[in-house]
């Protein structure tokens, strides 16, 4: 049973789905560049990077879909993805000097975390029925 997600959760779900879709686009671009045998791509180690982006993108896109459709399991994946994006954004901005990329990525991650930890999002998660408990040793009579 799913309880309709509040607006902040749906907004976070849309942003997370966008992040996942962007990662899938990067995977496709990397495959195309690999197949075109571009010599200037010394940083691309075979297809491994493209496969990594495809797997992570699919997982994050699925988490965004889950949040949009009111499934609370997507929240954990989304929070984890945002926490991973924060040091990536820092490295892009400070370490690589690409502020135009790092700042938006960091801001999106912070906004999504704020949405996922908003009052209505926390109430939504708390209102959901939890997993089976060992405290109830009787049969499930739903």
Confidence check: pLDDT of 120 > 90: yes
119 vs 133, which has greater pLDDT? 119
Alpha-carbon gap, residue 115 to 128, rounded angstroms = 18
State pLDDT tens for residues 88-119: 999 999 999 999 999 999 999 999 999 999 99
Predicted pLDDT of residue 138: 56
State pLDDT tens for residues 8-28: 999 999 999 999 999 999 999
When pLDDT is cut at 50, 70 and 90, the band that residue 48 belongs to is confident
When pLDDT is cut at 50, 70 and 90, the band that residue 47 belongs to is confident
- Buried b / exposed e across 73-85, counting CB within 10 Å, b at 16+? ebbebbbebbeeb
Query: Which DSSP string corresponds to 116-139?
Result: HTSHHHHHHHHHS--S--TT--SP
Q: What angle do CA 89, 120, 3 make, to 5 degrees?
A: 105
pTM (two decimals) = 0.81
Mean pLDDT across the stretch 63-75?
95
Alpha-carbon gap, residue 68 to 48, rounded angstroms = 30
Confidence check: pLDDT of 40 > 70: no
Question: For residue 140, what are the contacts with CB-CB under 8 A and spacing of at least 6?
Answer: 132
Predicted pLDDT of residue 141: 64
Whose structure tokens read 């009052």? 119
């Amino acid at each position: 049973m799913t309880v309709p997600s509040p607006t902040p959760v749906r907004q976070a779900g849309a942003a997370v789905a966008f992040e996942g879709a962007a990662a899938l686009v990067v995977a496709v671009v990397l495959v195309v560049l690999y197949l075109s045998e571009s010599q200037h791509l010394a940083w691309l180690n075979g297809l491994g990077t493209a496969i990594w982006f495809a797997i992570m993108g699919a997982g994050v896109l699925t988490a965004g879909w889950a949040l949009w459709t009111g499934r609370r399991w997507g929240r954990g994946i989304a929070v984890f993805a945002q926490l991973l994006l924060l040091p990536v954004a820092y490295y892009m901005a400070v370490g690589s000097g690409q502020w135009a990329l790092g700042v938006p990525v960091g801001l999106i991650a912070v906004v999504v975390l704020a949405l996922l930890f908003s009052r209505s999002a926390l109430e939504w998660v708390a209102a959901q029925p939890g997993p089976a408990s060992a405290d109830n040793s009787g049969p499930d009579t739903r």
